[in-house]
Amino acid sequence: MPAPRKEPARPRGPRRGPTLRRKRLIATVRPWLLLTPSLVVLAGLLLWPLVKVVLLSFQDYEVKFGGGVGTYIGLAHYSDLLTDGTLWRIVLPNTVVFAVACVALTVALGTLAALLLQRLGPVWRAVCSTAIMAAWAMPAVTGTYVWVWLFTADDGMMSRLAGSLGLIDPTTTNWFTERLSFYAIATLNVVHHGFPFVAITVLAGLLTIPKELYEAGMIDGASAWQRFWKITVPTIKPIFLVVTILSTIWDFKVFTQIYLMPGGAGSNEDVLNLGVWSYQRAFAQNDYGAGAATAVLLTLLLLVITFVYIRTLFKESDEL
């Protein structure tokens, strides 16, 4: 009996891959899956402490042996904070004016240093860049004590220099008691510590500008000032925005440089800023809820600045 005849296998069509919708889903989910470990770590290190501070700001927290007890009092701390004359008369003006002055001087000095470095040869550019980066690498604590030593009454170098010029009496002048002189020294300290970052960042942008643009400007008779405003600034405007906003965020929350200066830890109320005032209320006065409310106010200010920063960057990217 003949074997049953096998029918030839039908040719199969091409295997269909994932649908377009599935591909889009994978493309959307995959980056978040890759970012999940980092986001979990950041949430543990940043988000959870922030949540705890916000919760603490709604409590009247009392430290006891073996722990602490918090009683929820609603918005009482925020009401007291916003009606406190010290906030509007001293703390907030000190914080805002100091930050604006530091940002303006830091960006201006950093840009001038970047323009100088651009004109140098490779060897001297590397030497000078290393030298100014030493100021940025110096810890804020060390730099602050150096500036305090320079302006110490009687034997400080700047006090002796001003005394030799007949401007002050070094034995009786204390630079750290007056609000203006205190923040002038703090501004020198912050600008000295922050301008290298601006200089190196702006230098990186300057080196990307084609030389042909400057040559064309010189042929058209543009001065150095006109070439800077008409060529340099528009070309690397996003870099200027980045360093300006980052400097603003850093200078709004300055703590170390103020706290370590004589009188800055709270003994001189006229020189308080938001960061030090929050610390003083929480740990010196043991009013942890009020200190947390002050910290939340500072955080909200920084969030507003960050929002403006991100919105500006997106706007710049859409225009390019």
When computed from its CA atoms, the radius of gyration of the chain, rounded to whole angstroms, is 29
Position 114 in a domain: yes
Q: What is the C-alpha separation between 296 and 294, in angstroms, rounded?
A: 5
How many domains are there within the chain? 1
Q: What is the C-alpha separation between 41 and 9, in angstroms, rounded?
A: 56
DSSP 173-237: --TTTSHHHHHHHHHHHHHHHHHHHHHHHHHHHHTTS-HHHHHHHHHTT--HHHHIIIIIHHHTH
Position 15 in a domain: no
Q: What is the C-alpha separation between 79 and 70, in angstroms, rounded?
A: 18
Contact 257, 189 (CB under 8 A): yes
Q: What is the C-alpha separation between 73 and 56, in angstroms, rounded?
A: 10
Position 6 in a domain: no
Nearest to 135 by CA among 203, 205, 197, 201: 197
What's the confidence (pLDDT) of residue 219? 86
Q: What is the C-alpha separation between 250 and 190, in angstroms, rounded?
A: 10
Q: What is the C-alpha separation between 185 and 36, in angstroms, rounded?
A: 44
Classify 137 as helix, strand or coil: helix
Using 70 as the pLDDT threshold, list the residues of the chain that sit under it: 1-18, 65-67, 313-314, 316-320
Position 57 in a domain: no
What's the confidence (pLDDT) of residue 194? 92
Position 303 in a domain: yes
Backbone φ and ψ of 110, nearest 5°: -65, -40
What's the confidence (pLDDT) of residue 18? 55
Position 268 in a domain: yes
Position 50 in a domain: no
CATH number where 134 lies? 1.10.3720.10
Return left, alpha or beta for 197; rule: phi > 0 is left, psi -120 to 50 is alpha, else beta: alpha
Task: Please give the residue range of the domain that contains residue 131.
Answer: 76-319
Chain-centroid distance, C-alpha 283: 24
Position 86 in a domain: yes
Write the pLDDT tens digit of every residue in 274-320: 999 999 988 888 888 899 999 999 889 888 887 887 787 667 656 65
